Amino acid sequence: METPIKKMNTTSKANERIAIAVIWAAAIFVLALLVSIIVHILFNGLPYITWEFLTQIPRNMGRDGGVSSTIVGTFLITIVAIAIALPMGIGTAFYLAEYTRENIVTKIIRFSAESLAGIPSIVYGLFGFIFFVISLDLGWSILSGGLTLALMILPTIIRTSEEAIRAVPVVFREVSYSLGATKFQTIFKAVFPSAMRGIVNGTILSIGRCVAETAAVILTAGSALRMPSSLSSPTRTMAVHFYILAREGISMENAYGTAALIMIIIFLINIVANTIVNRFIAKSR
């Protein structure tokens, strides 16, 4: 006969086994899901990615031709977004980390940044449309799209930069000050270079968000297929192109090709970002 204690131990042991099995199953399920999505898109899309696909502009609403203008559009919008968000984000991060103690102002800044991070992209789209496209009269353009995305990625840049700046050892600052450097010199010559990797990592992840974004871009940059001639041209990004091709059933081949191209870019972005972080960790050990 089992004693009560022994019985309790066997049930709790059985519970533990079940719980661990469930946890492993959940993790493997999620991995399998991710792999199945990636494999499906690449398997169906890679065959369509040819030199012509990459270099020709879309013809016939995207039924024929390639995606070159959408690649250029995505690239330019991302450049604008990063060029605007980077100074604002890094500046905010330095202010929060170096220029002030926690007070009501930093609380409001943090609250704003966290709120911006939670606002849905469609709301950014609405705002970008009414503010940049209509009120500032920039029209549906690369500029409007880039500015809207800049606000969207701002919280990411602020957070990653601040973490990177705070990770720089205090000694760096102390040595710099002891050599007679001013605060500004200390920040630019001692802190900034050491925080560089973290900042680059945040920037790369933000590039990924710009490439992946659809809702905010379609309302602010439009969906024109021709090759943009300036920053005030309307354009269609790869993600928007994929969305329109797939949703309107224009061309499944080109939709899969475009999706595969986006996935490859996102993949590369993540690999680069991870390499940077790993090197950073290796170096700081």
Dist. CA 36–CA 54, nearest whole Å: 25
Least separation in angstroms between CB 127 and other proteins: 5
Give 76 or 150: the residue with its C-beta nearer to other proteins: 150
Q: Which of 267, 279, 281, 284 binds other proteins (CB under 8 A)?
A: 267
Which residues in the 48-107 window bind other proteins by CB under 8 A?
87-92, 94-96, 98-99
Dist. CA 237–CA 223, nearest whole Å: 8
Q: Which of 61, 72, 109, 231 binds other proteins (CB under 8 A)?
A: 109
41 binds other proteins (CB under 8 A): yes
236-245: b (≥16 Cβ within 10 Å) or e: bbbbbbbbbb
Instruction: Give bridge partners of residue 244 from the DSSP assignment.
Output: none
Give 184 or 189: the residue with its C-beta nearer to other proteins: 184
Indicate the helix (H) or strand (E) that contains 184: helix 183-185
131 binds other proteins (CB under 8 A): yes
Please tell me the count of residues contacting other proteins according to CB under 8 A: 87
Give 16 or 52: the residue with its C-beta nearer to other proteins: 16
108 binds other proteins (CB under 8 A): yes
111 binds other proteins (CB under 8 A): yes
Contact criterion met (CB below 8 Å) for 90 and 195: no
**Selection from 243, 267, 237, 263 nearest residue 255 by Cα:** 243
DSSP string, 230-277: STTS----HHHHHHHHHHTTS-HHHHHHHHHHHHHHHHHHHHHHHHHH
274 binds other proteins (CB under 8 A): yes
Site string for other proteins, 245-264 (x = CB under 8 A): -xx-------x---x--xx-
Give 230 or 247: the residue with its C-beta nearer to other proteins: 247
Total count of residues recorded for the chain:
285
175 binds other proteins (CB under 8 A): no
Least separation in angstroms between CB 26 and other proteins: 3
16 binds other proteins (CB under 8 A): yes
Exposed/middle/buried for residue 117 (C-beta within 10 Å: 0-12, 13-18, 19+): middle
Residue 179 DSSP label = T
121 binds other proteins (CB under 8 A): yes
125 binds other proteins (CB under 8 A): yes
Least separation in angstroms between CB 44 and other proteins: 9
The single residue listed with the structure tokens 């990924």 is: 208
43 binds other proteins (CB under 8 A): no
Which residues in the 214-243 window bind other proteins by CB under 8 A?
214-215, 218-219, 239, 242-243
Helix 192-212 to helix 68-94 angle (10° resolution) is 140
Least separation in angstroms between CB 180 and other proteins: 10
Stretch that binds other proteins, among 11-19, 50-58, 75-83, 168-176 (CB under 8 A): 11-19
Instruction: Give the C-alpha distances (Å, rounded to integers) separating 89 from 83, 200, 202, 212.
Output: 10, 12, 10, 20
Residue 61 DSSP label = G
**Selection from 121, 145, 122 nearest residue 133 by Cα:** 145
